[in-house]
A and B are shown apart, each in its own frame.
Chain A
Protein backbone atom coordinates (compact mmCIF):
# COMPACT_ATOMS: atom_id res chain seq x y z
CA UNK A 1 0.00 0.00 0.00
CA UNK A 2 1.30 3.45 -0.91
CA UNK A 3 1.55 5.88 1.99
CA UNK A 4 0.00 9.29 1.47
CA UNK A 5 2.16 12.14 2.70
CA UNK A 6 0.83 15.41 4.03
CA UNK A 7 2.07 18.96 4.53
CA UNK A 8 3.09 18.02 8.07
CA UNK A 9 5.43 15.42 6.58
CA UNK A 10 7.16 18.24 4.71
CA UNK A 11 7.76 19.98 8.04
CA UNK A 12 9.07 16.74 9.54
CA UNK A 13 11.34 16.20 6.55
CA UNK A 14 13.00 19.60 6.62
CA UNK A 15 13.50 19.29 10.38
CA UNK A 16 14.95 15.77 10.15
CA UNK A 17 12.06 14.31 12.06
CA UNK A 18 10.78 11.89 9.46
CA UNK A 19 11.56 8.21 10.20
CA UNK A 20 14.58 6.90 8.27
CA UNK A 21 12.54 4.14 6.67
CA UNK A 22 10.05 6.68 5.25
CA UNK A 23 12.57 9.15 3.84
CA UNK A 24 12.99 7.58 0.44
CA UNK A 25 9.26 7.07 -0.01
CA UNK A 26 8.70 10.71 0.92
CA UNK A 27 11.33 11.92 -1.54
CA UNK A 28 9.71 9.85 -4.29
CA UNK A 29 6.29 11.23 -3.35
CA UNK A 30 7.60 14.78 -3.66
CA UNK A 31 8.85 14.09 -7.18
CA UNK A 32 5.33 13.09 -8.21
CA UNK A 33 3.47 15.74 -6.25
CA UNK A 34 4.17 19.29 -7.37
CA UNK A 35 2.30 20.79 -4.40
CA UNK A 36 4.41 18.92 -1.87
CA UNK A 37 7.57 19.85 -3.75
CA UNK A 38 6.60 23.54 -3.88
CA UNK A 39 5.84 23.52 -0.19
CA UNK A 40 9.18 21.86 0.51
CA UNK A 41 11.05 24.60 -1.38
CA UNK A 42 9.05 27.33 0.33
CA UNK A 43 9.50 26.01 3.86
CA UNK A 44 13.15 25.17 3.36
CA UNK A 45 13.68 28.75 2.25
CA UNK A 46 12.06 30.01 5.47
CA UNK A 47 14.26 27.67 7.48
CA UNK A 48 17.34 29.11 5.80
CA UNK A 49 16.21 32.63 6.61
CA UNK A 50 15.60 31.69 10.23
CA UNK A 51 19.14 30.33 10.47
CA UNK A 52 20.48 33.74 9.54
CA UNK A 53 19.05 35.48 12.56
CA UNK A 54 21.00 33.29 14.98
CA UNK A 55 23.13 35.58 17.08
CA UNK A 56 25.90 35.18 19.60
CA UNK A 57 26.42 36.96 22.89
CA UNK A 58 29.49 39.13 23.31
CA UNK A 59 32.72 37.35 24.20
CA UNK A 60 32.85 38.58 27.77
CA UNK A 61 29.56 36.80 28.50
CA UNK A 62 31.12 33.46 27.59
CA UNK A 63 34.26 34.34 29.58
CA UNK A 64 32.15 35.14 32.66
CA UNK A 65 30.42 31.77 32.43
CA UNK A 66 33.67 29.84 32.03
CA UNK A 67 35.35 31.82 34.83
CA UNK A 68 32.41 31.08 37.12
CA UNK A 69 32.73 27.40 36.41
CA UNK A 70 36.49 27.38 37.01
CA UNK A 71 36.12 29.20 40.32
CA UNK A 72 33.06 27.22 41.44
CA UNK A 73 34.92 25.37 44.17
CA UNK A 74 36.12 28.70 45.59
CA UNK A 75 32.52 29.95 45.74
CA UNK A 76 31.49 26.77 47.51
CA UNK A 77 34.29 27.02 50.10
CA UNK A 78 33.41 30.65 50.88
CA UNK A 79 29.81 29.67 51.51
Chain B
Protein backbone atom coordinates (compact mmCIF):
# COMPACT_ATOMS: atom_id res chain seq x y z
CA UNK B 1 0.00 0.00 0.00
CA UNK B 2 1.27 3.45 -0.91
CA UNK B 3 1.18 5.59 2.22
CA UNK B 4 2.45 8.78 0.61
CA UNK B 5 -1.04 9.83 -0.49
CA UNK B 6 -2.51 9.52 2.98
CA UNK B 7 -2.78 12.47 5.33
CA UNK B 8 -1.25 12.48 8.80
CA UNK B 9 -4.47 11.49 10.57
CA UNK B 10 -4.94 8.49 8.30
CA UNK B 11 -1.35 7.43 8.88
CA UNK B 12 -1.73 7.73 12.65
CA UNK B 13 -4.88 5.59 12.47
CA UNK B 14 -3.00 2.91 10.54
CA UNK B 15 -0.10 3.10 12.98
CA UNK B 16 -2.44 2.65 15.92
CA UNK B 17 -3.43 -0.74 14.53
CA UNK B 18 0.18 -1.80 14.08
CA UNK B 19 1.14 -0.56 10.62
CA UNK B 20 4.84 0.32 11.04
CA UNK B 21 5.12 1.55 7.45
CA UNK B 22 2.61 4.27 8.26
CA UNK B 23 4.85 5.44 11.09
CA UNK B 24 7.88 5.33 8.82
CA UNK B 25 6.05 7.64 6.40
CA UNK B 26 5.16 10.03 9.25
CA UNK B 27 8.80 10.19 10.34
CA UNK B 28 10.10 10.67 6.79
CA UNK B 29 7.48 13.31 6.04
CA UNK B 30 8.32 15.52 9.02
CA UNK B 31 11.92 14.68 9.92
CA UNK B 32 13.39 17.76 8.27
CA UNK B 33 10.97 20.20 9.88
CA UNK B 34 11.31 18.63 13.31
CA UNK B 35 15.09 18.43 13.14
CA UNK B 36 15.61 21.96 11.81
CA UNK B 37 13.26 23.43 14.43
CA UNK B 38 15.13 21.68 17.23
CA UNK B 39 18.51 22.59 15.78
CA UNK B 40 17.60 26.28 15.58
CA UNK B 41 16.71 26.24 19.26
CA UNK B 42 19.61 24.20 20.70
CA UNK B 43 22.25 25.15 18.05
CA UNK B 44 23.99 21.77 18.30
CA UNK B 45 23.49 19.05 15.67
CA UNK B 46 24.25 16.15 18.00
CA UNK B 47 21.98 17.40 20.72
CA UNK B 48 19.31 18.12 18.09
CA UNK B 49 19.56 14.48 16.97
CA UNK B 50 19.23 13.26 20.55
CA UNK B 51 16.18 15.44 21.12
CA UNK B 52 14.66 14.34 17.85
CA UNK B 53 14.96 10.70 18.93
CA UNK B 54 13.49 11.57 22.30
CA UNK B 55 10.62 13.40 20.60
CA UNK B 56 9.63 10.47 18.42
CA UNK B 57 10.08 7.97 21.25
CA UNK B 58 7.60 9.99 23.29
CA UNK B 59 5.26 9.98 20.31
CA UNK B 60 5.59 6.19 19.91
CA UNK B 61 4.93 5.63 23.62
CA UNK B 62 1.87 7.86 23.58
CA UNK B 63 0.32 6.43 20.42
CA UNK B 64 1.09 2.77 21.17
CA UNK B 65 -0.29 3.09 24.70
CA UNK B 66 -3.54 4.43 23.25
CA UNK B 67 -3.11 7.85 24.84
CA UNK B 68 -2.99 9.87 21.62
CA UNK B 69 -6.03 12.11 21.38
CA UNK B 70 -4.91 14.92 19.07
CA UNK B 71 -6.97 13.77 16.09
CA UNK B 72 -6.14 15.80 13.00
CA UNK B 73 -3.35 17.70 14.71
CA UNK B 74 -0.39 15.34 14.50
CA UNK B 75 2.18 17.90 13.30
CA UNK B 76 1.41 20.61 15.89
CA UNK B 77 1.43 17.86 18.52
CA UNK B 78 4.83 16.39 17.59
CA UNK B 79 6.23 19.91 17.20
CA UNK B 80 5.00 20.82 20.67
CA UNK B 81 6.84 17.81 22.11
CA UNK B 82 9.99 18.78 20.18
CA UNK B 83 9.74 22.39 21.27
CA UNK B 84 9.24 21.55 24.95
CA UNK B 85 12.14 19.09 24.98
CA UNK B 86 14.37 21.59 23.16
CA UNK B 87 13.60 24.36 25.60
CA UNK B 88 14.23 21.99 28.54
CA UNK B 89 17.62 21.00 27.14
CA UNK B 90 18.43 24.61 26.34
CA UNK B 91 17.79 25.56 29.96
CA UNK B 92 19.94 22.67 31.22
CA UNK B 93 22.73 23.51 28.75
CA UNK B 94 23.04 26.93 30.33
CA UNK B 95 24.16 25.09 33.44
CA UNK B 96 26.36 22.60 31.53
CA UNK B 97 27.52 24.42 28.41
CA UNK B 98 28.85 22.41 25.46
CA UNK B 99 31.41 23.99 23.15
CA UNK B 100 29.81 24.21 19.72
CA UNK B 101 31.60 25.09 16.50
CA UNK B 102 30.28 27.54 13.92
CA UNK B 103 28.64 24.79 11.87
CA UNK B 104 26.73 23.52 14.90
CA UNK B 105 28.87 20.47 15.63
CA UNK B 106 30.59 19.80 18.94
CA UNK B 107 34.32 20.37 19.09
CA UNK B 108 35.19 16.87 20.28
CA UNK B 109 33.02 15.16 17.68
CA UNK B 110 33.92 17.16 14.61
CA UNK B 111 35.89 14.28 13.07
CA UNK B 112 32.86 12.04 13.03
CA UNK B 113 30.77 14.63 11.24
CA UNK B 114 33.56 15.18 8.75
CA UNK B 115 33.19 11.53 7.70
CA UNK B 116 29.48 11.97 7.06
CA UNK B 117 29.12 15.32 5.30
CA UNK B 118 25.76 16.99 4.77
CA UNK B 119 26.07 16.84 0.97
CA UNK B 120 26.59 20.53 0.52
CA UNK B 121 29.58 22.42 -0.74
CA UNK B 122 31.75 24.50 1.52
CA UNK B 123 30.29 27.73 0.11
CA UNK B 124 26.74 26.56 0.67
CA UNK B 125 27.57 25.43 4.19
CA UNK B 126 28.97 28.84 4.98
CA UNK B 127 25.92 30.54 3.50
CA UNK B 128 23.54 28.32 5.46
CA UNK B 129 25.54 28.86 8.61
CA UNK B 130 25.29 32.64 8.09
CA UNK B 131 21.52 32.46 7.57
CA UNK B 132 21.17 30.39 10.75
CA UNK B 133 23.21 33.02 12.58
CA UNK B 134 20.89 35.73 11.32
CA UNK B 135 17.88 33.75 12.57
CA UNK B 136 19.58 33.32 15.95
CA UNK B 137 20.18 37.07 16.16
CA UNK B 138 16.49 37.91 15.87
CA UNK B 139 14.72 39.08 19.04
CA UNK B 140 13.35 36.02 20.88
CA UNK B 141 9.71 36.83 20.22
CA UNK B 142 10.32 37.10 16.46
CA UNK B 143 12.54 34.01 16.33
CA UNK B 144 9.91 31.98 18.18
CA UNK B 145 7.16 32.88 15.71
CA UNK B 146 9.46 32.35 12.73
CA UNK B 147 10.44 28.84 13.86
CA UNK B 148 6.86 27.94 14.70
CA UNK B 149 5.43 29.14 11.36
CA UNK B 150 8.21 28.40 8.91
CA UNK B 151 9.71 25.19 10.26
CA UNK B 152 7.07 23.76 12.56
CA UNK B 153 4.28 24.56 10.13
CA UNK B 154 1.92 25.89 12.80
CA UNK B 155 -0.84 28.25 11.69
CA UNK B 156 -0.85 31.83 12.97
CA UNK B 157 -3.89 30.89 14.99
CA UNK B 158 -2.00 28.01 16.66
CA UNK B 159 1.03 30.25 17.26
CA UNK B 160 -1.19 32.85 18.90
CA UNK B 161 -2.65 30.18 21.19
CA UNK B 162 0.75 28.72 22.07
CA UNK B 163 2.37 32.07 22.81
CA UNK B 164 -0.58 33.79 24.48
CA UNK B 165 -0.76 36.67 22.03
CA UNK B 166 -3.33 37.79 19.47
CA UNK B 167 -3.16 36.57 15.88
CA UNK B 168 -2.32 40.11 14.78
CA UNK B 169 0.62 40.23 17.18
CA UNK B 170 1.89 36.87 15.91
CA UNK B 171 1.54 38.11 12.32
CA UNK B 172 3.30 41.36 13.15
CA UNK B 173 6.20 39.51 14.77
CA UNK B 174 6.53 37.28 11.73
CA UNK B 175 6.55 40.34 9.46
CA UNK B 176 9.24 42.03 11.53
CA UNK B 177 11.27 38.81 11.59
CA UNK B 178 11.18 38.48 7.80
CA UNK B 179 11.89 42.17 7.20
CA UNK B 180 14.78 42.13 9.68
CA UNK B 181 16.20 39.04 8.02
CA UNK B 182 15.91 40.63 4.60
CA UNK B 183 17.79 43.72 5.80
CA UNK B 184 20.56 41.58 7.25
CA UNK B 185 20.72 39.39 4.14
CA UNK B 186 21.14 42.49 2.01
CA UNK B 187 23.84 43.72 4.34
CA UNK B 188 25.73 40.43 3.96
CA UNK B 189 24.86 40.23 0.26
CA UNK B 190 22.91 37.00 0.65
CA UNK B 191 20.71 37.12 -2.41
CA UNK B 192 18.41 34.54 -3.85
CA UNK B 193 19.86 33.04 -7.01
CA UNK B 194 18.56 29.67 -8.14
CA UNK B 195 21.29 29.28 -10.73
CA UNK B 196 24.00 29.67 -8.17
CA UNK B 197 22.38 27.44 -5.58
CA UNK B 198 20.34 24.85 -7.47
CA UNK B 199 18.01 22.71 -5.33
Contact = CB atoms under 8 A, between A and B. Distances in A.
User: Chain A: interface secondary structure?
Assistant: helix
Interface in B34-66: 35-36, 39, 45, 48-49, 52-53, 56-57, 60-61, 64
Interface in B152-199: 155-156, 168, 171-172, 174-175, 178-179, 181-182, 185, 190-192, 197, 199
A18 B107 CA distance: 44
Interface residues of B, number: 50
Contacts of A57: 31, 35, 48-49, 52
A25 interface: no
B178 A43 contact: yes
Contacts of A24: none
Number of chain A interface residues as a range:
20 to 34
Interface of A: 7-8, 10-12, 15, 17, 42-43, 45-50, 52-58, 61-62, 64-66, 68-70, 72-73, 76
